[in-house]
Amino acid sequence: RKEVEQDPGPFNVPEGATVAFNCTYSNSASQSFFWYRQDCRKEPKLLMSVYSSGNEDGRFTAQLNRASQYISLLIRDSKLSDSATYLCVVNLNNDMRFGAGTRLTVKP
Amino acid sequence: AAGVIQSPRHLIKEKRETATLKCYPIPRHDTVYWYQQGPGQDPQFLISFYEKMQSDKGSIPDRFSAQQFSDYHSELNMSSLELGDSALYFCACKTGLAGDTQYFGPGTRLTVL
């Protein structure tokens, strides 16, 4: 079993849709959590850190539930430019563990 | 703002050859990580350095070695290349072991023929 598991995807949604990604992690001692975005053949780029209190950045909302070891990312009013692979990343003692990623395609 | 620089961006080698990949972290970022990402895979951690010392080791083959220099740049040396080494190699950096966020370089695409 992978340490970080994500929805397999792919998600194909129309512009303006709301889409949610889920992620679970196996090690309860994990210390920090992130969502990265990766475009095809490009490097992962930090989208947002994830906190227990939840955090929002424009159309993006991230939530962390430590008790359930669950992380989510909500994208509202999706744009064509949101098309990418979204990586759930969990940090334990400076060891970053990546989920396999969920591919999102936003269509006109 | 300065970003992570990797060179070369693309590299083509033949089996059994050697390759050296370079990473120049963001200024004042003293911790460097190397990742390998195969097609359709998530990044796999290879090795990391903090203040020029190896800090952690992941799934790095014995044929690979790496080091971090006094100016904090890092080099990944790969010998006896195999077809399966073809991948994107990312370098990421952050400030100190306790710093949270890793910033990735653009990657080096290695193709082994």
pLDDT in tens, A11-39: 999 999 999 999 999 999 988 899 999 99
Most B CBs within 10 A among A96, A98, A102, hence the mutation to make, goes to A96
Contacts of B102 in chain A (CB under 8 A): 46, 96
Measure A108 CA to nearest chain B CA, in Å. 25
A41–B88 C-beta distance less than 8 A: yes
Q: Taking 90 as the threshold, does the pLDDT of residue B8 lie above it?
A: yes
User: Is A89 in contact with A97 (CB distance < 8 Å)?
Assistant: yes
For residue A71, what are its two tokens?
Answer: 């992380």
What pLDDT, on a 0 to 100 scale, did the predictor assign at position B37? 93
Which of A90, A65, A80 lies closest to A6 in space, CA to CA?
Answer: A90
Measure B51 CA to nearest chain A CA, in Å. 14
Q: What is the pLDDT of residues B63-113, one digit of tens each?
A: 999 999 999 999 999 999 999 999 999 999 988 655 678 899 999 999 999
User: What phi, psi does B69 have (nearest 5°)?
Assistant: -100, 175
B109–A41 C-beta distance less than 8 A: yes
Of B33, B41, B101, the CB nearest to A46: B101
What pLDDT, on a 0 to 100 scale, did the predictor assign at position B4? 94
First to last CA, chain B: 36
What pLDDT, on a 0 to 100 scale, did the predictor assign at position A72? 95
Chain B touched by A68 (CB under 8 Å): no
Mean pLDDT of A71-78: 96
Taking CA–CA distances from A100, the nearest residue in chain B reads B42
B90–A43 C-beta distance less than 8 A: yes
Measure A45 CA to nearest chain B CA, in Å. 7
Q: Taking 90 as the threshold, does the pLDDT of residue A70 lie above it?
A: yes
Chain A touched by B25 (CB under 8 Å): no
Q: Evaluate the CA torsion angle B87, A46, B91, B42 in order and state its sign.
A: negative
Sequence-ordered list of residues with C-beta below 8 angstroms from that of A28, at least 6 positions apart, any chain: A66, A69
Chain A touched by B90 (CB under 8 Å): yes
Chain A touched by B97 (CB under 8 Å): yes
